[in-house]
Amino acid sequence: MKFRWMLIVLFLIVFTACNRDEIKSKSVTESKFNLVEAKDILRETYKSINVMTNNELETKPEIKVKSYEEFMDTFDFSLFDESVKRSYIFETIVDFGNDGNPVKDEDGFLVYGEGNIISYIPSIFDKGVVIEKAFIRDVDYGTKYSSMNFQELVIIETRDESIDLMASGFNRINRFKMNTDGKWILYAVEGTTSFVWER
């Protein structure tokens, strides 16, 4: 497979309360997070992306589905926030027409990377993808605005070009918040998060 060029797709999802920009936090503290545990969290979060990605670095599911709901029922993205699942995963993998709707084939199935344009979402499973840094970030708005206090786990990924040059320039910031069940949920993604190959 010959890659003629690649287009870096920049993707940014950030969820903040509308008034957080107006109210300054009292303190922000960061503490190191265990890198082995961080890797385990990424592997559990992105496991379905690994299943979908072949040896030619094409993130293209083999299972055909007809809707967003069926897509999410078929693949496990339970550790993704709903908005991230749709905007980052679904809209990257599935082809969309000029009308903004998903492209379907003559049998009504969603189309993944039809023709010579294929999307690739790197993951921690891939050769050369490494964790650059992982830390817990605590933001405190003080007693008056304590309802705005929050904690997040930040895991920064990059590609070690001494191991693999493919998709060099990859850099993804994963932001997690813990849910009521004690699981880290990916609620925001920043950076160069996916690539488009022309075969």
CB 171 within 8 A of CB 131: no
State residue 10's pLDDT score.
46
Question: Regarding predicted confidence, which is higher, 118 or 109?
Answer: 109
Spatial distance between the Cα atoms of 15 and 80, rounded to a whole number of angstroms: 13
What residue ranges in 23-128 does DSSP mark as E strands?
Answer: 27-32, 117-120
Q: pLDDT (tens digit, 9 = 90+) per residue, 138-187?
A: 988 888 888 888 899 999 999 887 777 676 788 999 999 999 999 999 99
Question: Regarding predicted confidence, which is higher, 70 or 98?
Answer: 70
Q: What is the mean pLDDT of residues 28-53?
A: 96
Which amino acid is present at 182? G
Spatial distance between the Cα atoms of 52 and 87, rounded to a whole number of angstroms: 17
Question: Regarding predicted confidence, which is higher, 48 or 9?
Answer: 48
Predicted TM-score (pTM) of the model is 0.83
Question: Regarding predicted confidence, which is higher, 18 or 181?
Answer: 181
State residue 108's pLDDT score.
93
Domain assignments of the chain as residue spans, ordered by start: 6-198
Question: Regarding predicted confidence, which is higher, 133 or 199?
Answer: 133
Q: What is the mean pLDDT of residues 130-143?
A: 92
State residue 26's pLDDT score.
79
Q: Is residue 99 over pLDDT 70?
A: yes
Total count of residues recorded for the chain: 199
Q: What is the mean pLDDT of residues 109-123?
A: 81
Which tokens in the block code for residue 175? 């932001």
Q: Is residue 33 over pLDDT 80?
A: yes
Which tokens in the block code for residue 101? 């709707």
CB 167 within 8 A of CB 148: no
> Between β-strands 171-178 and 6-10, what pairing exists: parallel, antiparallel or unpaired?
unpaired
Which tokens in the block code for residue 161? 């070009």
Compute how many other C-beta atoms are within 10 angstroms of the C-beta atom of residue 173: 17
